[in-house]
Amino acid sequence: MPEAVEKNKRDLIKRLHYAEGHLQAVCRMIERDAYCMDIINQNHAVIEALKKINQLILEGHLGACAWDAVNSKTAAKRKKAIRELVKLYSKQ
Q: Name the more confident of 3 and 33.
A: 33
Band of pLDDT at residue 40, cut at 50, 70 and 90: very high
Per-residue model confidence as pLDDT tens digits over 48-89: 999 999 888 888 877 777 777 777 778 888 788 888 878 877
Instruction: Residue 76: give its domain's CATH number.
Output: 1.20.58.1000
Residue 82 Cα distances to 21, 56, 57, 87, 91, angstroms: 35, 19, 17, 9, 14
- Is 3 a residue whose pLDDT tops 80? no
Q: Name the more confident of 29 and 1.
A: 29
CA nearest neighbour of 67 among 83, 53, 82, 52: 82
Range of the domain at 51: 3-91
Counted domains in the chain? 1
Residues 6+ away with beta carbon under 8 Å from 39: 26, 29, 30
The letter for the amino acid at 30 is I
In the predicted model, what is the mean pLDDT of the chain? 87
